[in-house]
Amino acid sequence: MTKINISDTTGRNLWLMKSEPDVYGWDDLVAEGEGTWDGVRNHLAARNLRTMQAGDLAFFYHSNIGVEVVGVIVISQGGLSDPTDPEGKWAAVKVKPVQKLPQTVTLKQIKATPELQEMDLIRLSRLSVGSVRPDEWNLILRMAGAL
DNA sequence: GCCAACGTTGGC
DNA sequence: GCCAACGTTGGC
């Protein structure tokens, strides 16, 4: 896995990206080494994808099964067009795994944490690619035992 | 331009 | 399996 200090967020945008683990989970990304994040068909999520730059960090979140943050990934390549879109209008990025969290952080825990109520994850529950603020990032890392 | 119908996402 | 939230489509 890519060696990065996940608590050093200077100059990096922070994100949270959802995937259903029975379709594409953390272990699948680790096995692949690098994955293409495509198939997003929501305008706000796509805008977030287009904003991403190589070096940005993201939480990898398991939706539907687990319903928890499981690891940290890094955007390895930004500004791609979605290979699954024949029109080439939708966006994609490439990502690499950085670190599995010592303990997962569940949606239930996040919902129970007052400081995390403003997260896209909570406010826009169906958004598959949301942004994360540095204070939220660090608190979740702390909850995961990664700091 | 409104709104009903329908489809999808995602939590529970 | 159900339902709430949200997006899209199509009739008017």
The pLDDT assigned to A87 comes to: 84
- Please give the Cα distance from A33 to A52 (Å, whole number): 19
CB A29 within 8 Å of CB A60: yes
What is chain A's mean pLDDT, rounded? 95
The pLDDT assigned to A88 comes to: 86
Q: From residues 98-137 of A, which are strand B contacts by CB within 7 A?
A: 107-108, 111, 121, 125-128
Residue predicted with more confidence, A87 or A71: A71
Strands A14-19 and A68-81: unpaired
pLDDT in tens, A90-126: 999 999 999 999 999 999 999 999 999 999 999 999 9
Tell me what percent of the residues of chain A surpass a pLDDT of 90: 93
Instruction: Count how many Cα atoms sit within 13 Å of the Cα of residue A35 in the half-sphere of its side chain.
Output: 21
In this complex, the answer to whether residue A53 has its CB under 7 A from any atom of chain C, a nucleic strand, is no
Predicted confidence band of residue A52 (pLDDT cuts 50, 70, 90): very high
Name A105's Cβ contacts closer than 8 Å, sequence gap at least 6: A68, A69, A140, A143, A144
Residue A79's Cβ-count burial label (10 Å; 0-12, 13-18, 19+) is middle
CATH, domain A14-143, list 3.30.390.30, 3.10.590.10, 1.10.579.10, 3.40.50.300: 3.10.590.10
In this complex, the answer to whether residue A42 has its CB under 7 A from any atom of chain C, a nucleic strand, is yes
In this complex, the answer to whether residue A63 has its CB under 7 A from any atom of chain B, a nucleic strand, is yes
